[in-house]
Every structure is written in C-alpha cells, then in structure tokens.
Amino acid sequence: MKYRAKYTKGDNVKFVGHLDLLRSIQRAIKRAELVVKYSQGFNPHQVFSIAQPLAVGHTSVGEYMDFELVNDMSEDEVKQRFNDVSPEGIKIIEVRKLNDGENKAAALVEYGSYKVVLDKNISDDTIKNFISQDTIEVEKETKSGTKIADIKNDIIDAKIEGTVLHATISTGSNQNLKIELLAKALYTYAGEEFDENKIDVERQDLYYMYKDELKGLME
C-alpha cells in the first residue's frame, strides 16, 4: 500500500542536511516498525521518496514523503507510530493513502509557498511596485558562471505583512527559484543591503498547477 505523509522540519532540526534528513526519517520508520517495501536488485533500498529538498537552515510546515508499506495500515496508525519515535521537529501532520497510478509527490511539485522573516523594513507599496515590473532581473549562479535571469514568471504571489514576506514561487525539479534570490532582488529594489544569513525562511506548503489553480498534494 502506498502512502503520502505531510510533515514538518522544525527549528531545532533546520540545519540537518537533505541526505541526513532522509536517513533520519528512514530510521524513524524502522523504529516505528512500519515495514517499508524494499526495491529489488543488488542494492535494495526502501521504496521511499521526498517531494522536494529543503535548503539547510530553512524550516517547514509543509514537507511531503511518499512510501510503500508491505501491510495495509490505517492512516492514523501510520502517523501515530511515526510520531511516537521520530526526532523532535520531524513530525507527521497528515497521512493519505495513494490511489493506484497516482504520481509521486516529487514528480508533481511545481510551486512552494514561503514565509520569510526579513531583517529590514520593506513597505507593502514597495513590494507591489516590485512585482508589477515588466521584468524582474536577478543574477543567477550557474555551473558556467553567473547569468542574468528574469524571475517574473516564477513569482505567483508576494506580499508583506510587517517584516514578514509571504511568497509563492516556482519550486520543483523543472522550474525552481531560490527564495533568497527573490528576497535579494526585493532588497536591491528597495535599496537595502542583503545578507542571506540574516533572514529566516519557513516553507509553508507545496503545490502543483491543475486547471490554472494551485492544488495541494494531499488533495
């Protein structure tokens, strides 16, 4: 039986890297005595995947993993068992059984929403003007050096409440925008100096586009 779980990555575990997180979750699954199916072949591994890596230093209340269990078990029991033995900060919020033929979360994800605590005051007007520009150009670092990219189409929505930026942007294996790039562009536009180590990022949720509407992965 295939399952999808929505889980958190809390403040106390935000510096755990992606591969370390994978291993930690797989160990928690083992401790929970959830019998995960193993792949065939010379080097069997758990049938398990994570929707979209989260950058080191970011927290999240909307991460997703897909896995396949040998036995059929109720969603509540899966959640309960995992949360009883998972590290503080890595907790399942919700579990859903997947239907046959449903796409993996990793293949679906296209957008993510973020909450960013800024270290400078930027007014709501500024951000309105910022996102209504015809193009929003940033310097993107690639393997072959830096290049100028237009990120306008990667921004679905961006607004400010107090010193908190709420933004929904491209997040996924096809099209991806680093939230720090958006924040940097915004700071530059507002004439503020940007230090990516001084903002706090929390991912809120992940989505895909279905008939021109954002859809959550648990729907």
Partner 1 sequence: MQKRMVPDYILKQVEKPVRYTGGEYNMVVKNPKDVDIRFALCFPDVYDIGMSHLGLQILYGMYNAREDTYCERVFSPWTDMEAKMRENDIKLCTLETQDEVKNFDFLGFSFLYEMCYTNVLNILDLSGVSMYSKDRGEDEPIVCAGGPCVNNPEPMADFIDFFYIGDGEVKYDEIFDIYKVHKKNGGKRKEFLEKIAHIDGIYVPAFYDVDYNEDDTIKSINVINENAKPVVNRVFVADLNTSYYSEKPIVPFLETVHNRVTLEVFRGCIRGCRFCNPGLMYRPIRSKTVDTLMKQLEAQVKNTGFEEISLVSLSTSDYSGLNELSNRIMDKYSKEHISLSLPSLRVDEFSLELMNKLQEVRKSGLTFAPEAGTQRMRDIINKGISEEEILSGCRLAFEGGWNRVKLYFMMGLPGETDEDIVGIAELTKKIVGEYFKVPKDKRANGISVNVSASCFVPKHNTAFQWESQNTYEEFERKQRILKDAIRKVKQATYRYHDARTSVIEGILTRADRKVGKLIYDVWKSGAKLEAWSEYFDYKKWIEAFSENNMTMEFYNTRKREIDEIMPWDHINVGVNKKFLMREKVKSQLGEVTRNCKEMCAGCGDWKTGDESENAKSTCEMKNKK
The least distance separating partner 1 from the CB of residue 196, rounded to whole angstroms, comes to 8
Give yes or no for a contact between 58 and 116, defined as CB atoms under 8 angstroms apart: no
Q: Which of 198, 209, 210, 216 binds partner 1 (CB under 8 A)?
A: 198
Residues in Cβ contact with 49 at an 8 Å cutoff, skipping those fewer than 6 apart? 65, 66, 67, 104, 105, 106
Which tokens sit at 206?
Answer: 């992940």
Question: Can you tell me which of 21, 50, 122, 160 binds partner 1, judged by CB under 8 A?
Answer: 21
86: left (phi over 0), alpha (psi -120 to 50) or beta: beta
Give the residue, chosen from 75, 102, 192, 200, that forms a contact with partner 1 under the rule CB under 8 A: 200
Q: Does 157 bind partner 1 (CB under 8 A)?
A: no
Q: Which of 15, 80, 150, 152 is close enough to bind partner 1 by CB under 8 A?
A: 15
CA dist., res. 182 & res. 143, Å (int): 20
Among 18, 129, 195, 210, binds partner 1 (CB under 8 A): 195
Question: Would you count residue 86 as binding partner 1 (CB under 8 A)?
Answer: yes
Q: Which of 2, 49, 75, 87 is in the footprint of partner 1 by CB under 8 A?
A: 87
Q: Give CA–CA dist 60/10, Å, rounded.
A: 6
Residues 6+ apart with CB under 8 A from 213: none
Of the candidates 67, 41, 45, 65, the residue with the CA atom closest to the CA atom of residue 53: 65
**CB-nearer residue toward partner 1: 3 or 130:** 3
Give residues 22-81 in contact with partner 1 (rule: CB under 8 A).
23-24, 26-31, 38, 42, 44, 56-57
What is the separation of C-alpha 13 from the centre of its chain, rounded to a whole number of angstroms?
A: 15
Q: Contact positions toward partner 1, by CB under 8 A?
A: 11-13, 15-17, 19-21, 23-24, 26-31, 38, 42, 44, 56-57, 85-89, 195-198, 200
